[in-house]
Amino acid sequence: MAAESTVELESSMKEHRDDDEKSNGFSVSAVSMDVEGGDKDPSGNGVSSVIPGWFSEISPMWPGEAHSLKIEKILFQGKSEYQKVMVFQSSTYGKVLVLDGVIQLTERDECAYQEMITHLPLCSIPNPKKVLVIGGGDGGVLREVARHSSIEKIDICEIDNMVVEVSKQFFPEVAVGFNDPRVTLRIGDGVAFLKAAPEGTYDAVIVDSSDPIGPAQELFEKPFFQSVARALRPGGVMCTQAESIWLHMDIIEDIVSNCRHIFKGSVNYAWTTVPTYPSGMIGFMLCSTEGPLVDFKHPVNPIDQKDCQKSVRPLKFYNSEIHTAAFCLPSFAKRKIGSKET
Amino acid sequence: MAAPENTLHSTDSPLKRQREDEVNGVSDTLSKEPQPNGLSSVIPGWFSEISPMWPGEAHSLKVEKILFQGKSDYQDVMVFQSATYGKVLILDGVIQLTERDECAYQEMITHLPLCSIPNPKKVLVIGGGDGGVLREVARHSSVEKIDICEIDKMVVDVSKEYFPDIAVGFADPRVTLNIGDGVAFLKAAPEGTYDAVIVDSSDPIGPAQELFEKPFFESVARALRPGGVVCTQAESIWLHMHIIEDIVVNCRQVFKGSVNYAWTTVPTYPSGMIGFMLCSTEGPSVDFKHPVNPIDENDSQQAARPLKFYNREIHSAAFCLPSFAKRAIASKEN
Beta bridge partners of B174: none
Distance CA B63, CA B45 (A): 6
Q: Do residue B322 and residue A322 have CB atoms under 8 angstroms apart?
A: yes
Is the CB of residue B285 less than 8 Å from the CB of residue A285? no
pLDDT in tens, A278-305: 999 999 999 999 999 999 999 999 986 5
Give the predicted TM-score (pTM) of the model: 0.87
Residue of B nearest to A24 (CA): B39
Q: Is A27 on the interface with B (CB under 8 A)?
A: no
Q: Do residue B267 and residue A246 have CB atoms under 8 angstroms apart?
A: yes
B81 marked as part of a ligand binding site: no
Minimum distance, in Å, between the CA of residue A308 and any CA atom of chain B: 13
Question: In Å, how far from its chain's centre is CA B331?
Answer: 27
Q: A-chain residues within 8 Å CB-CB of B273?
A: 273, 275, 280-281
Residue in A64, A274, A281 nearest the CB of B61 = A64
Distance CA B84, CA A169 (A): 38
Distance CA B203, CA B182 (A): 15
The more confident residue out of A273 and A307 is A273
Among A138-142, A206-210, B106-110, name the one with the lowest average pLDDT: A206-210
Q: How confident is the model at residue A246 (pLDDT cuts 50, 70, 90)?
A: very high
**What percentage of chain A reaches a pLDDT higher than 90?**
73
Q: How confident is the model at residue A307 (pLDDT cuts 50, 70, 90)?
A: low
Is the CB of residue B126 less than 8 Å from the CB of residue B197? yes
pLDDT in tens, A105-118: 999 999 999 999 99
Q: Is A92 on the interface with B (CB under 8 A)?
A: yes
Active site residues of A: 208
Residue in A18, A109, A277 nearest the CB of B37 = A18
Is the CB of residue A284 less than 8 Å from the CB of residue A271? yes
Instruction: Residue window 184-223, chain B: list those with CB within 8 Å of chain A.
Output: none
Minimum distance, in Å, between the CA of residue A155 and any CA atom of chain B: 28
Distance CA A182, CA B241 (A): 37
Size of interface A-B (CB pairs under 8 A): 167
Q: What is the pLDDT of residue A137?
A: 97
Minimum distance, in Å, between the CA of residue A92 and any CA atom of chain B: 5
Q: How confident is the model at residue A52 (pLDDT cuts 50, 70, 90)?
A: confident
- Collect the ranges in chain B with pLDDT lower than 70: 1-43, 296-304, 332-334
Q: Is A237 on the interface with B (CB under 8 A)?
A: no
List, in sequence order, the alpha helices (H) in A222-319: 222-231, 249-262, 305-310
Q: What is the pLDDT of residue A187?
A: 98
Residue of B nearest to A319 (CA): B323
Among A80-84, A88-92, A264-268, A335-339, name the one with the lowest average pLDDT: A335-339
Q: Is B294 on the interface with A (CB under 8 A)?
A: no
DSSP, residue by residue, B21-56: HHHHHHHHHHS-S---TT---S-TTEEEE--TTSTT
Average pLDDT over residues A4-15: 34
Would B22-98 and B102-330 be classified into the same CATH topology?
no
pLDDT in tens, A320-332: 999 999 999 999 9
A211 marked as part of a ligand binding site: yes
Q: Is A297 on the interface with B (CB under 8 A)?
A: no
| CATH architecture of residue range(s) B22-98 | Roll (2.30)
Q: Do residue B44 and residue A47 have CB atoms under 8 angstroms apart?
A: yes
A189 marked as part of a ligand binding site: yes
- The rounded mean pLDDT for chain A is 84
Distance CA A113, CA B129 (A): 36
Q: Do residue A65 and residue B59 have CB atoms under 8 angstroms apart?
A: yes
Q: Do residue A328 and residue B322 have CB atoms under 8 angstroms apart?
A: no
Minimum distance, in Å, between the CA of residue B111 and any CA atom of chain A: 13
* Residue A269: C-alpha distances to residues A52, A238, B41 (Å): 38, 12, 38
Beta bridge partners of B19: none
B269 marked as part of a ligand binding site: yes
Minimum distance, in Å, between the CA of residue A83 and any CA atom of chain B: 25
Residue in A52, A91, A246 nearest the CB of B40 = A52
Sheet of A153-158, strand order? A183-187, A153-158, A130-135, A202-208, A232-241, A281-288, A267-273
Is the CB of residue B121 less than 8 Å from the CB of residue B128? no
B105 marked as part of a ligand binding site: yes
Q: B-chain residues within 8 Å CB-CB of A338?
A: none
Instruction: Residue window 58-87, chain B: list those with CB within 8 Å of chain A.
Output: 58-62, 82-85
User: Is 2.40.30.10 the CATH number for A54-106?
Assistant: no
Residue in B56, B266, B309 nearest the CB of A70 = B56
Is A171 in a helix, a strand, or coil? Answer: coil
**Domain B102-330 in CATH: superfamily?**
Vaccinia Virus protein VP39 (3.40.50.150)
* CATH fold label, A109-339: Rossmann fold (3.40.50)
Domain ranges of chain B: 22-98, 102-330
Interface test with B, best of A61, A109, A273, A318 (most B CBs within 10 A): A273
Is the CB of residue A146 less than 8 Å from the CB of residue A113? no
Active site residues of B: 200
